[in-house]
Amino acid sequence: MTNQGTVAVVTGASRGAGRGIAIALGSHGCTVYVTGRSQKSGDAPLPGTIYETADAVTAAGGTGIPVRVDHGDFDQIQALFARVDEEQGGLDILVNNAFAAHDEMTVPGPFWEKTLDLVHMLDVGLLGSYAAAYHAAPLLVKRGRGLLVFTSASGATHYAFGPAYGAHKAGLDKYASDMAVDFREFNVAALSIWMGAVKTERMQVMADADPERFAAFESLMETPQFTGHVIWAMFRDPQLMEISGQTVIGAEMAEKYGILDEGGRQPKSYRELHGVAPFRQYPRIIR
């Protein structure tokens, strides 16, 4: 399989994991539509813009195309995929990564003592991802082969940062399972991928604020590009449809494909570190 003309959309790619995934796909020659809200310095508390990421995609060897999208706005999501269809005639890879992170999410305490605004991560993380998949689906089907990925985490199966975060991650895993059923006859795979602790700009701020706590933890972190290389390997796998519908652990898929992270490191799986693994769905289908 060639990467000639491979078109990807990575949502929430101004910074963090989305930025890394977009750059990694660019390094494999993909045309990558980079979406997010940040257009200039100061648009968000953390550094990073869609234009900076798109430039980095191009510098890595691909073609980066920045598109300002609020993934809480269905009309903007629809317009994004209409543009991709008009300019590219289809889509090969969609990475649903946009997520309304909130600083208070990681503050200790019960959910009712935190801001109610935390529930908005379901607007962007779940509703926005559904809308993106909805509008991307005809473009993926048109290609005759495609991959839809949701970036998730182990909080889907254990307590992490409170119920809104957990519902978000569990919902993404369920999306992948159920969307795979509808996509199967069209040769389009849907997967959810558990990333490990990713060394994002947000995580670096947390580590800098409490270096003693994060000292050992930092050595286990994955670079933001790591998941992008794993996604590319899965897309290129002729047996991709055999795992469609599953939630996979990025570190385990990397080991399968022989992918190392920066510095030749092989990140450890949550299964290995904590005995935590994704739930498997029952095969029963009711229509």
Kindly list the catalytic residues. Answer: 165
**CA distance linking residue 103 with residue 66, whole number of Å:** 26
- Largest alpha-carbon pair distance within the chain? 53
Six-digit token string for 53: 């990421």
Six-digit token string for 125: 């993380």
**CA distance linking residue 221 with residue 245, whole number of Å:** 26
Amino acid letter, 11: T
**CA distance linking residue 135 with residue 224, whole number of Å:** 26
Phi, psi (deg, nearest 5) at residue 57: -60, -45
Strand partners, 189: 147
**CA distance linking residue 52 with residue 55, whole number of Å:** 5
| C-beta of residue 269 within 8 angstroms of C-beta of residue 249 | yes
Q: Inter-axis angle of helices 129-143 and 74-88, to 10 degrees?
A: 20
Q: Which of 76, 80, 85 is nearest to 139 (CA)?
A: 85
Secondary structure (DSSP) of 100-140 = ---GGGGSSS-GGGS-GGGGGHHIIIIIIHHHHHHHHHHHH
| C-beta of residue 25 within 8 angstroms of C-beta of residue 62 | yes
**CA distance linking residue 129 with residue 216, whole number of Å:** 33
